[in-house]
Structure 1
Amino acid sequence: MEYEPKYTVVLRGQEFILTKSQIEFDSPNYFTACFLGDFHEAQTKRLELSRSPDLFKLIIEHLCGYEVLPLDNKANTSDMSADSVLRNLRADALFYQLDGLVKSCDRAIKPRKTGRSFMIIGRRSPYTRILSNADSSSTISVEGLRWEKGYLKPGDVWVTTVTEDILNRMGQLQLRRSYADFEGLETVAAIEDFAQKAVGNYSKSGWTLMGWRFEAIPRPDDGSGQPGTKILIVLEGL
């Protein structure tokens, strides 16, 4: 059998032997750079590091071509939780430049649910001056909204919180980020003032304006009611 070069990796006093085929697995990486490059370790075939020897046992399994994820109880010989082992293994995979193992760790680390919440402020206003064009829900009269805010009293609005799933079913909103010119920012400021009058200093409580929808309420054909405006303002939790 043809001789295969061997290389020694020393981690906190513990020695590990790697073969050439192992260090070339998932390469280029830290080992190929050290042992097959122009570094001193290419001559000594010995590398000393202060990384975790326990995690390196999993690294060796990976370099042998074995699947090391998902982790089982036998693989965890330390006092760390399985989640900590996985995240520390990813850190070592980054250090050793093992791109394949990094990707495997990323797939195994379940993304944390953000649990995003949204505060909905609603009002059915009996006034139409809030919209500068009653036929367009996107054309807000800044002066009309300021006038509406001036007459706003406790109990004039309803407030609730919803999840992102519910928000996605609420229909299209005018998004704050779409209003970047002078007139747009003036509109944003007016809506922020209205929301603050309705629910208090929401930014101090961890909320920020996300979007809104203002809709004209037409007068019923039979003349039995009054026209008005539906106001819907959405705040996003930071």
Structure 2
Amino acid sequence: MEYEPKYTVVLRGQEFILTKSQIEFDSPNYFTSCFLGDFQEAKTKRLELSRNPDLFKLIIEHLCGYEILPLDEKSCPSHMPPDIALRNIRADALFYQLDGLVRSCDGFIKSRKALVSPSRKFLVIGHTNTSRHLRSTGPNHNIPVTGLEVVTMSLQRVEIWTTIIADDMFNQMGQLQLRKSHVDFEGLRLVAAIEAFVRKAVGNYQKLGWTLLGWRTEPVTREGTGIVATKLLIVLRS
């Protein structure tokens, strides 16, 4: 069997190996320019970039000739809903100059816009807490479960606010901690605590047709004082 050259792509410390046939798929592209052109990478056969390594796994599938669209929750990075992952894949496809993948993404984005139901809504629940119960010092900034349980026990309806938004506003909200990414023991315990908080805040949300999507916390700081409160934002989807 004839030897096929291999090339190393390093993304944020993670190494990926591409073959010549892979980089020539959907070409000309960024990889053929670097590895088959006059750049230094053509000699070293090594390319280092700061792009997302989780998304690159999908790019590799594309370079193997596989269909990667439409995306579902299992194929997306754990912190990305499918809609956001699709737009991020398109951004990477533009960067890597993969014109075929860009066209595929554009087609799916256009079709998804046509199919989006105007009735799909998101219920946003907000709460600001001045105690230390919701403050996290952990590396993942997770909500302390015990603290959340204490807050839930004494929660009054007047201490929360709610609003309903549509897709366009939801897409501008920024990153959430998604329920689907909390699957180990501690993660499921946190999900249960979040669900208990939501039931205390708005009642039986599942009976009303809502499901828990995700949440995030934001510290409230004051100059010279530091953190004085914690904002908790929880999002349900219809």
Structure number with bigger Rg = 1
Q: TM-score, normalised by structure 1?
A: 0.49
Q: TM-score, normalised by structure 2?
A: 0.49
